[in-house]
Amino acid sequence: MATGQLTTPPLDNWYPIRPKTIEESGLSQSFIEELLLKIMYTRGKLNGHEIAQHAHLPFASVTSNILDFLKRELMCEVKGGRGLSGSYQYTLTSKGASRARDLLERNSYASAAPVLWDDYVTAINAQGTEPLRVNPDSMRNSLANLVLEESVFDKIGPAVNSGKSIFLYGPPGNGKTTIAESIGRMVLTNHIYIPYAIEVDGQIIKLYDAINHEIVDEPAYKIDSRWVHIKRPVIMVGGELTLAGLELVYDPTNKYYEAPYQMKANGGMFLIDDFGRQQVRPHDLLNRWIVPMEKEVDFLSLHTGRKVEVPFKVLIVFSTNLPPRDLVDEAFLRRIRHKIEITSPTFTGYREIFKRVARARGIPYDEKAVRYLLKAYYADGKHPLRANHPRDLIDQLIDIANYRGEPPRLTKELLDLAADSFFVEL
Q: What percent of the chain has pLDDT over 90?
A: 59
6 pLDDT band, cuts 50/70/90, is: very low
More confident residue, 398 or 164: 398
Looking at residue 281, what is its pLDDT? 84
Size (the chain), residues: 426
Helices of type H across 288-341: 290-295, 330-335
Nearest to 261 by CA among 273, 251, 270: 270
Nearest to 163 by CA among 139, 130, 123: 130
Q: At how many degrees (to 10) do helices 64-72 and 29-43 cross?
A: 80
Contact 283, 132 (CB under 8 A): no
Looking at residue 111, what is its pLDDT? 95
* Structure confidence by residue, pLDDT tens digits, 108-167: 999 999 999 999 999 999 987 665 677 888 888 878 888 988 888 889 888 888 777 889
pLDDT mean over 370-391: 93
Under DSSP, is residue 279 helix (H, G, I), strand (E, B) or coil?
Answer: coil
- In the predicted model, what is the mean pLDDT of the chain? 88
> What CA–CA distances, in Å, run from 159 to 174, 291, 373, 385?
19, 20, 36, 26
> What CA–CA distances, in Å, run from 408 to 154, 350, 353, 417, 422?
37, 20, 18, 12, 17
Residue type at position 401: A
Distance (Å, whole) CA 73 – CA 69: 6
Looking at residue 26, what is its pLDDT? 95
Looking at residue 5, what is its pLDDT? 33
Strand pairing of 197-200 and 203-206?
antiparallel
Q: What are the E-state strand segments in 234-376?
A: 234-237, 249-251, 256-258, 269-272, 297-301, 307-311, 315-320, 338-341
pLDDT mean over 178-194: 83
More confident residue, 186 or 222: 222
81 pLDDT band, cuts 50/70/90, is: low
pLDDT mean over 62-86: 84
pLDDT mean over 198-220: 90
Stretch among 217-221, 297-301, 420-424 having the lowest mean pLDDT? 217-221
* Count of helices and strands (H, E) across the chain: 17, 20
Helices of type H across 7-165: 22-25, 29-43, 48-55, 64-72, 94-106, 117-127, 136-142, 150-162
Distance (Å, whole) CA 165 – CA 269: 10
Distance (Å, whole) CA 193 – CA 232: 9
Domains and CATH numbers, the chain: 28-111 (1.10.10.10), 128-190+232-341 (3.40.50.300), 347-422 (1.10.8.60)
Contact 200, 206 (CB under 8 A): no
Q: What b/e string do you get for 140-163 counting C-beta neighbours within 10 Å, with b at 16 or more?
A: eebbeebbbbeebbebbbebbbeb
pLDDT mean over 284-291: 84
